[in-house]
Amino acid sequence: MTKAHIWLRAESKPLEERIALTPDVARKLLEAGFKITVEESPLSAIPAQEYQGIGCDIVPAHSWQQAPQDTIILGLKELSEDNWPLVHRHIHFAHVYKEQQGWQDVLRRFKTGKGELYDLEYLVDNNNRRVAAFGYWAGFAGAAVALKAFGKRQQLDSTAQTDQPVLDKLASMPSKQALVDDVAESLSPLARPPKVLVIGAKGRSGRGAVEMAKSVGAEVTQWDMAETQVGGPFEDILDFDVLVNCVFVQEALPPFITLPMLETNGIEPRRLAIICDVSCDPYGTYNPLPIYASCTTFDKPCLRIIEGGNPVDLIAIDHLPSLLPVESSEDFCQQLLPHLLQLDNLNLGVWQKANKIFTDKLSQV
């Protein structure tokens, strides 16, 4: 007997090559009796043909709007901005529960269409720990991009070209090792290893950032709750070359750093040159780095937030794991598989909890 119908939609976010369902996981769902439809996608790192070969139905990109109403629409990133009602059950990272910009408009679409949202960020176990996350890969990629930017900055500084962008467009890498080799090459001309501070070092993202930084010989300092519990701002951050923020924020915190801190060098010149905000939530009220107002992108990865002879560049890309789309997707989908196998009953386990959060938030619209 056929179980639930899962519809893997093509991502609409530019340069998003990850996918919410890999062929290996899709095969296991098919074997369990689920029906799977996969949209063709010019962005995905995994072509639709790989799904067709295992028995999935293949349909044109963005055709999920015509799917039967009882279909479960599975994706990764938020839906494209629009205003027509949402009638299906959706699973993806929606970025609306922390009252980010436009959150009410998104939820209003669900309310009007009587659809439901099961936000991947809020699939949690009995200890409120996320059951599936890209965190490790976000931290790994974030540290990689930050270190690559630092290497380029040093080269530009040595030739007095501080007004030049520190990074060109980013492109996905074929493997973790290829990314490590690329960053190591960027740092090879430097006379000394960069000093890197990772905040939130004990979490998934933090562990990924620490591993990346150590793999290329950086001098890494790790902060977590013990080091930040007194509350910021923290002047010591200015003594590092690179800051990688990996803190998963669930409440308002005192800022770790502020723009006036960065603008004032004090007696000693500020050392901090590159900031990567892996947590990347400039639109909400829970941002511990209130020094920027919009995300950066793979096309324009760096934002200069301090000009002049000792500039500061910031990286805030909200889909960093796309730098390693295949490995990060495979890891995430394997974490999610046990729960996907329970999609026949959304009133149990992590799905029930996610739905309660949705209904509670919907009542505020």
pLDDT exceeds cutoff 70 at 358: yes
More confident residue, 339 or 82: 339
Identify whether 195 is a catalytic site residue.
no
pLDDT exceeds cutoff 70 at 266: no
Average pLDDT, the chain: 93
Of 77, 92, 148, 339, catalytic:
77
Helix (H, G, I), strand (E, B) or coil at 243: strand
pLDDT at position 309, please?
A: 84
- Mean pLDDT along residues 2-26: 93
Of 13, 92, 95, 176, catalytic:
95
pLDDT band of residue 15 (cuts 50, 70, 90) is confident
Name the residue among 40, 9, 20, 39 with its Cα closest to residue 340: 20
Report strand pairing: 242-245 vs 274-277. parallel
pTM: 0.87
Say how far apart CA 100 and CA 286 lie, in whole Å.
10
- Mean pLDDT along residues 230-248: 95
Which residue ranges form the domains of the chain, and what is each CATH number?
A: 5-122+325-362 (3.40.50.720), 135-322 (3.40.50.720)
Identify whether 77 is a catalytic site residue.
yes
pLDDT exceeds cutoff 60 at 1: no
Query: Over the range 292-301, which residues count as b (16 or more CB within 10 Å of their CB) and which as e?
Result: beebbbbeeb
* Per-residue model confidence as pLDDT tens digits over 96-141: 998 888 899 999 999 999 999 999 999 999 999 999 999 999 999 9
pLDDT at position 100, please?
A: 84
pLDDT exceeds cutoff 80 at 84: yes
pLDDT at position 162, please?
A: 66
pLDDT band of residue 250 (cuts 50, 70, 90) is confident
* Per-residue model confidence as pLDDT tens digits over 166-199: 999 999 999 999 999 999 999 999 999 999 999 9
Q: Where are the alpha helices (DSSP H) in 87-168?
A: 103-113, 135-158
